Structure 1
Amino acid sequence: MTSNTRVVVIGAGLAGARLARRLGELGASGGTAGAPALSVELVGEEEHRPYNRVLLAEVLAGRYAPEVIALPVPGRLTRARVTGIDRAARTLRCADGSVIAYDTLVLATGSNPVLPPLRGLFGHGGHELPEGVHAFRTMDDCLGLSKAVRPGARAVVIGGGLLGVSAARALAVRGAQVVLAQQAERLMERQLDPSASRLVHRHLTELGVEVHTECRVRDVRCVGGAVRSVEMADGYALDADLVVLACGVHPRVGLAQDAGLAVHKGILVDDELRTSDPHIRAIGDCAQHEGTLYGLATPALEQADILAELIAGDTTSRYTGTRSLTRLTLTGGDTPFDLAAFGEPEPRPGDDVIQLADATRGTYRKVVVRDDRVVGGVLVGELGTVGALARAWEGAEPLPSDGAPLLHLLTNDGGS
């Protein structure tokens, strides 16, 4: 049982807000017998109410207003930028000069967008992006893009991963002329196999998005501080009113490093989500558990729930990793697009693969089976089977030898 009572959470994103809410619920229900009362303070530096970052593309597409994706946050929310951690005194220093004391500190600092080393991106040694160039990570990024985009605007999205595909589609739905530049050989190569990537490519193309793969951007050209074009490595130039940087994210670990905590790529945590300081925990995008940085919503929420139980006095809870499923639903136009990917969608030698494809309907389903167990899969289009397939994967139970139940999972749209 912990003797800590004052819990301070840095970061008001999905993980931090979820933790604060769960601690509030556990506190209201009395928590574990004999556990101390908890005082929870959530510290976030954004001016906006905490929100679901996963749905930013829907705000950009015009489907949701910003307030629709706001998160409930019980208890105390402080808007401040933490600049330092004094581990000996157990206090935080903030940019406005204030000091916040803690008994247990939770780092839910999330991640920052990767800004590629392009010529012209930061002119004259400055740190501000040129006018018309946007990252796509925060509500301010989203609102800035929403204000700038207009029908016919020429937009270049750099990066063809999950975020880049979402941004390209949202901008196309808003009427922009969109070019998507992806350095890898196909879209969403980390989550999807080649067949599924081709369907994503086709979907974007049908919306009017011009997709370029195996294409590296080397230069952002500005006039008067505003972007005018981007230049590819082969010298080809694209006119641009807007440029969206969707090149991935990296964990925000600066506070942890400055405080002397153990950091590799992320802040190292154990099964109780403790850092190298027993009074400091970490969850979400910034946390690295057993060598893994997840960077996804599902593991962040699971970590928050487990940590809430631990802080509230449950000594048996442990985080042992998340088998997470990537799901993308793109709406806002006449042709909604859904996909899901989990586990290992690329088979190893000796694996069994079951595939069903319907080119007319634009649907694709694939499951990889190893040693009679589902180890991965990809679904594009109609996702009625995703729930049942994901449960078969998460349970890791052997499949019956005749294969009929797996085929049933692939074809039964009532499986979710």
Structure 2
Amino acid sequence: MVVIGAGLAGLRLAARLGAGTGADTGRRVTVLGEERHAPYNRVLLAEVLAGRYAPGVTALPDPGPALRRGVRAVRVDRADRTVHCDDGSAERYDALVLATGSNAVLPPLRGLFEPRGRELPDGVHAFRTMDDCLALSAAVAVRSGVRAVVIGGGLLGVSAARALAERGAQVVLAQQGERLMERQLDADASALLHAHLTALGIEIHTRCRVRGLRTTRGPAGGRRVDGVEFADGYRLDAEVVVLACGVRPRTGLALAAGLDVRTGIVVDDRLRTSDPLVHAIGDCAEHAGRVYGLAGPALDQADALARQLGGATAPGYTGTRALTRLTLTTPAASTTTSGTATSGTATATSGTATLDLAVFGETTALPGDDVVSLADATRRTYRKVVVRGDRLVGGVLLGELSTVGALARSWQDAETLTDLSHLLTDDGGS
């Protein structure tokens, strides 16, 4: 078996199939990882950028000799059941798993690339890989007050902006949409998030489209960014620009191999592509018309595929109900404690305060839905749940997550609700 991709999904599958355990499973697993870094958890990159975690803290379990690091798959020959790599080697397979993940979206900005070029100017960074993270860390470490512009106000952009501000950068966050994290949050929750980031010193511009970059030529002829230009003509100086405009599934190998690709690589309930010998899991996979792009579904798919490939009769993959969580930290005037980090409640220690956020399911009500919400402007907490019939279909919790466990279980298990008011109480109705 050959697995292309050494991220969360690929390594979870390899571990489930016995790679790195020393167990004799009768199956030889090879994992191809194009990055030379030891495999890491991308979810924690913002914590590395903020300086709270060392890069080693993000390490994933070592699969041992099953992993070939620094090797990129460049072509899949389905007729010959062979994967060809950029170092000239080839790996034969009986079963192939594509866990190729996703790439950062690079917006069509003037000045981003030179004609027929694909090199980003110095100072311009995506925020997707460990190399991106380390380069950004070096860029803001030169001195306090580095001027940074983050383009994109989704989950990725908010995380990057918060981390850069904690490193002492002067951060401007530019969001083309009308509010921050508009795919996940309603207007009230987004307003609280906006206030929290502003308190951190981040300057936020919504309904603001960046049109292009300003660059200068260095003595060696290379380009370096020195500012951004907005659609209304306003220009802003910048030493660092972060492109946090979302991600796109990596489907190039699958397309070149003739597999069915829409937004992602199309898979069925057994996570098979249009070729039954080739599977896809994680950010690159599209199941039942949906590409998740989240860690939870990637792990669920890896576990489901391991069961299928293990030979045991197992139910197919039917989807994942994913919950998005984010913790933001800001300086606080005083030190208080209102819970523990492990329980998911807001905590302020050592002169800092955290704002926890959890989002799940459908947060926009449809006609006929019931909405229960509770807002506390003083404590900057907000809770909202959406109920359809007698089922909880989604919710937003910001600032105080003591009820998130009970709510998530009720939503994931599609429990029948008998009372709406208990959903927002501190004990979650228990």
TM-score interval, normalised by the smaller of the two chains: over 0.9
Alignment partner of 1:72 is 2:65: no
Residue 44 of structure 2: aligned partner: 55
Amino acid at match of 1:8: V
Secondary structure of 2:18's aligned partner = helix
Per the alignment, do residues 369 and 414 of structure 1 end up closer, same or farther by CA in structure 2, a change over 3 Å counting? closer
Distance in 2 (CA, whole Å) between partners of 1:415 and 1:399 is: 11
Distance 2:116 2:354 in 1: 43
User: Hey, what's the Cα distance between the residues in 1 that align with 2:429 and 2:57?
Assistant: 29
1:157 aligned to 2:146? Answer: no
What stretches of structure 2 of length at least 5 have no aligned partner?
Answer: 218-222, 332-351
Cα offset, 1:410, TM superposition? 1.4
Structure 2 counterparts to residues 302-341 of structure 1, below 5 A: 302-331=300-329, 334-341=352-359
Render the CA deviation track for 1:362-396: whole Å, top value 9, x for unaligned: 11000111102111100001111111001111111
Cα distance change on mapping 1:186 and 1:332 into 2, 3 Å: closer
TM-score (norm 1): 0.93
Q: CA deviation at 1:317?
A: 3.0
- Deviation of 1:22 after TM superposition, in Å, equals 1.4
Say whether residues 1:349 and 2:367 are aligned partners. yes
Task: Give me the whole-angstrom Cα distance separating, in 2, the residues matched to 1:28 and 1:382.
Answer: 44
- In 1, distance between residues paired with 2:429 and 2:264? 37
Deviation of residue 27 (structure 1)? 7.9
Tell me, yes or no, if structure 1 residue 407 matches structure 2 residue 424.
no
RMSD: 1.6
CA distance in 1, matches of 2:404, 2:23: 34
Q: Relative contact order, CA 8 A, sep 6+: which one is greater?
A: 1
1:24 is matched by which residue type in structure 2?
Answer: G
How many matched pairs? Answer: 401
**Residue of structure 2 in register with 1:20 after alignment:** 14
Aligned residue number for residue 4 of structure 1: none
Q: 1:270 aligns with which of 261, 265, 268?
A: 268
Please list every run of at least 4 consecutive aligned residues from structure 1 whose deviation after the TM superposition is greater than 3 angstroms. 25-30, 413-416
Task: Tell me if the contact between 1:161 and 1:187 (Cα under 8 Å) persists in the aligned partners.
Answer: yes
| Displacement of 1:278 | 0.9
Contact between 1:196 and 1:364, CA under 8 Å: does it hold in 2?
yes
Amino acid at match of 2:29: V
Q: Name the structure 2 match of 1:359.
A: 377
Q: 1:68 to 1:307 in 2, by over 3 A?
A: same
Seq. identity, %: 69
Contact 2:422 2:428 survives alignment (8 Å) = no
1:212 alignment partner, one of 201, 205, 208: 205
Separation (CA, whole Å) in 2 of partners of 1:289 and 1:265: 10
Q: For the residues of structure 2 that align with 1:228 and 1:9, how far apart are their CA atoms? A: 42
Cα distance in 2 for residues equivalent to 1:317 and 1:12: 26
Distance across 2 between alignment mates of 1:298 and 1:169 = 23
Aligned to 1:3: none
Shift of 1:315: 2.7
1:180 to 173, 178, 194: 173
What secondary structure sits across from 1:199 in the alignment? helix
The one-letter amino acid paired with 2:185 is L
Amino acid at match of 2:280: A
Q: Indicate how the Cα distance of structure 1 residues 415 and 57 shifts in structure 2: closer, same or farther if over 3 A, else same.
A: farther
Offset of 1:17 from its aligned partner?
1.2
Query: 1:117-156, aligned counterparts within 5 Å?
Result: 117-150=108-141, 151-156=144-149
Kept after mapping to 2: 8 A contact 1:27/1:38: no
**Counterparts of residues 370-389 of structure 1 (less than 5 Å):** 370-389=388-407
Which deviations, in whole Å up to 9, do the C-alpha atoms of 1:200-240 show, x marking residues without a partner?
10110000000000000001010011100000000011110
Do the aligned partners of residues 236 and 116 (structure 1) sit closer, same or farther apart at CA in structure 2, a change above 3 Å counting? Answer: same
Give the deviation of 1:127 after TM superposition: 0.6
Alpha-carbon distance in structure 2 between the residues aligned to 1:262 and 1:348: 33
